Structure 1
């Protein structure tokens, strides 16, 4: 004799799990989850931007608390907001002395903030959505995949060969957490002996080491001491560790994920991984050579140093100009030609879905590949035996144009407000947009109105021009017709 198995009754029409029975009010937590679910369903990009902006406002309020400053007084709104945006956007620019203005509590807030900001706006929203809903659903996977590949933000089919596929998002989020923790832990441990050699007390040495490790991996560039890197100038071991951390943070979590899965089989790496690594290597070497050539006769930078130190510090500056934010020299002492080179390196930035900012190296690679293909008369864009779809080129052009427009408008406005030198204003604006953090010293002297301009520039640079454009778009409309073709004259 067998026992009957009870049948599961389907939920009543119009009833959603967790919202209570018909006629009964839903529980507050269930209503909150439903609101989050609806917001993420209507527009994942807008939801992510909302989360990102909310974090900035929250950190602004915390920085305004008297406990956050060493003086025990309220930090002005302009400085608190600027610091919050710089921290959450992992920029590294500052309007106050970061080492002396903030208390221990303030530095803890900064440390936590850069960890959150380094994850990325879409990934942050996905993780928060996971915490709220207690599961990683399709919409959360789409949002996290968008941070690894902006093409996911668009409706319609996604081209082949993506850096991160939807099925791999869970692994990517694990990689983000594990890689960030592991890299910062290893770099911090290696820095401790160097701190102790300088006679720094053990407790301060531990705190400073992990602070430097976090600021390097997140590509923020804040220092725990007022003198910055001056005590470690010429210390190849210390500066080398910072470069390694900055490089690992700037290549992007999808690249780290791909390499950890197939460390000994480069042929299995995706096109995105190969383009990121090759373009990054070319930019690092090109920047180093240009700094050597342009600054060898400048006694205030590299002119008074020996050949080995000049080569190393030129490589260090080339690495930091890509978004690291650390510097062993006074940036304002660079020749205008070197400032322009730094502008270009900052504007390009690091890898997609990384702690670095800028247009991203793959954007530059696609644009150059398209130019080479056009020059050679080829109809398709190809690299490493793969064909790059035309919609990727359109996206790269859009990102470059929107980025250039944001930088141009912000530069004009700041110039009008401050009447400062164009080279310095352009440098600060690009550093803000690319979330780099290098500065000529102008940022700390800006009036409040100019600070707010840089705040918006940092926010737009970190949120991403693609995400912002998708969030502002009302809808994706299908066009059921094709207009007659006509070719305008170009060039």
Structure 2
């Protein structure tokens, strides 16, 4: 029987149902530390932020919510991360399935991409990566918190588990009011968290490629190569730029020792790509560093992973298109492969629509508040990119502003992958073509 819903619509609906269930659970008196029902907007905002693995909050997670409430939040962002990771991978496979058999087989032979498989095998692979990484980081954090900070085993284990799951799912939630600022000089805390963020956000197709063909990078798919190259450039570039602009900032890196400066700058560069943790005060960053965060948060991480944003492959494809145009070539090429015209059109569509949403959200929130424009832009991009970093104005926004952020979080999390899948699945050849003209550009 044919499904009544498009696959991308099913994903969007599943996330919406998870948000509704999470909101109702967080409105229970047992979820609030004081034993009273949380306001509907607070519960809704928190549920959306958790399911969409964003990390923006209007109340302090560690003190406002009870143990039951915190467990609910953790389960929600685990579902949001694992569900999107699985759904994005399966949608990618469905896109391949929509191709003609001959084209599909040629593509798989030439690029060695992920095969079709079945739903259960894909889900098992994603589950294995998720479970192993989260358990490993939980163990490392638990041991460090107990041995170095004298936390009781139970408290250390809970903190380690919460932050490990949050990091792998790029959720950015923390049970500490200062996020991870208290651990700014502790590499044994920040490095495992960074590892979980990168592995979770790089995308499952890349992890599959690395595992299946780790001995010979020549057989990696173009997607894997572009993702790794673009991610490396963004991480290194963000690290260097943050060092330059924050080196003497007395409110961030200024008072730190050289090793701590390097550690915090690296952590900030990694976290800005949709993780949402911070080891320095985001509100105290220079305006140049805020501008860098605008870009990093908007780009986000890898496709079919736990990260948000328009994705690094989208930006990489557009960069290749620009390079080809400058060089006067008709094809965009990289690593001995040609990027398809349909992938270029999809990348342009995702980027344009994402930019339009950021502009619309910024204007809408500026209409209802007198907060500084640069802080509002930061908040809007953080919500759309499902990052969770904030300059500290989230709780100060009026109800309309908070509702706008919930919409941006939902669209930013679900919209990019479902839009890309819809474009690919809906692509069809027209039986005719109109005469061509060349409008003046520039």
Q: Is the Cα contact below 8 Å between 1:323 and 1:436 reproduced in 2?
A: yes
Alignment of 1:265-280 (within 5 A): 265-280=216-231
- Aligned counterparts of 1:362 and 1:216: Cα–Cα separation in 2: 22
Q: 1:389 aligns with which of 340, 345, 350?
A: 340
Decide whether aligned partners of structure 1 residues 153 and 396 sit closer, same or farther in structure 2, where only a CA change above 3 A counts.
farther
- Aligned counterparts of 1:144 and 1:61: Cα–Cα separation in 2: 29
User: Which digits, 9 at most, give the CA deviation of each residue in 1:418-461, with x for residues without a partner?
Assistant: 12111100000000000011100111111111110001000000
Q: Can you give the 5+ residue segments of structure 1 that lack an aligned partner in the other structure? A: 1-33, 125-142
The Cα shift of 1:106 comes to 0.9
Q: 1:110 aligns with which of 57, 65, 73?
A: 73
Partner of 1:132: none
Partner of 2:436: 485
- Aligned counterparts of 1:260 and 1:472: Cα–Cα separation in 2: 29
Q: 1:91 aligns with which of 54, 77, 94?
A: 54
Q: 2:14 aligns with which of 22, 27, 51?
A: 51
- Aligned counterparts of 1:434 and 1:71: Cα–Cα separation in 2: 32
- Aligned counterparts of 1:472 and 1:268: Cα–Cα separation in 2: 27
User: Which digits, 9 at most, give the CA deviation of each residue in 1:96-128, with x for residues without a partner?
Assistant: 11111111111111111111100244835xxxx
Equivalent residues, number = 435
Q: Can you give the 5+ residue segments of structure 2 that lack an aligned partner in the other structure? A: none
Q: 2:372 aligns with which of 412, 421, 427?
A: 421
Question: 2:248 aligns to what SS in structure 1?
Answer: coil
Q: 2:123 aligns with which of 156, 161, 173?
A: 173
Higher RCO (CA 8 Å, separation ≥ 6 residues)? 2
**Is 1:199 matched with 2:162?**
no
**Is 1:145 matched with 2:90?**
yes
Q: Is the Cα contact below 8 Å between 2:202 and 2:303 reproduced in 1?
A: yes
The Cα shift of 1:479 comes to 2.8
Partner of 1:127: none
**Is 1:430 matched with 2:395?**
no
Question: 1:322 aligns to what SS in structure 2?
Answer: coil
Q: Is the Cα contact below 8 Å between 1:172 and 1:253 reproduced in 2?
A: no
- Aligned counterparts of 1:356 and 1:343: Cα–Cα separation in 2: 15
Partner of 2:188: 237
Question: 2:333 aligns to what SS in structure 1?
Answer: strand
**Is 1:79 matched with 2:29?**
no
Partner of 1:119: 82
Q: 1:444 aligns with which of 384, 389, 395?
A: 395
Q: Is the Cα contact below 8 Å between 1:276 and 1:361 reproduced in 2?
A: yes
Q: Is the Cα contact below 8 Å between 1:82 and 1:451 reproduced in 2?
A: yes
Q: Is the Cα contact below 8 Å between 2:350 and 2:419 reproduced in 1?
A: no
Decide whether aligned partners of structure 1 residues 164 and 472 sit closer, same or farther in structure 2, where only a CA change above 3 A counts.
closer
Decide whether aligned partners of structure 1 residues 268 and 434 sit closer, same or farther in structure 2, where only a CA change above 3 A counts.
same
**Is 1:38 matched with 2:3?**
yes
**Is 1:360 matched with 2:311?**
yes
* CA RMSD across the alignment: 2.3
Decide whether aligned partners of structure 1 residues 97 and 153 sit closer, same or farther in structure 2, where only a CA change above 3 A counts.
farther
User: Which digits, 9 at most, give the CA deviation of each residue in 1:135-162, with x for residues without a partner?
Assistant: xxxxxxxx7532x479559887779348
The Cα shift of 1:465 comes to 3.1
- Aligned counterparts of 1:469 and 1:273: Cα–Cα separation in 2: 17
Which protein has the larger Cα radius of gyration, Structure 1 or Structure 2? Answer: 1
Q: 1:187 aligns with which of 134, 137, 149?
A: 137
Q: Is the Cα contact below 8 Å between 2:85 and 2:306 reproduced in 1?
A: no
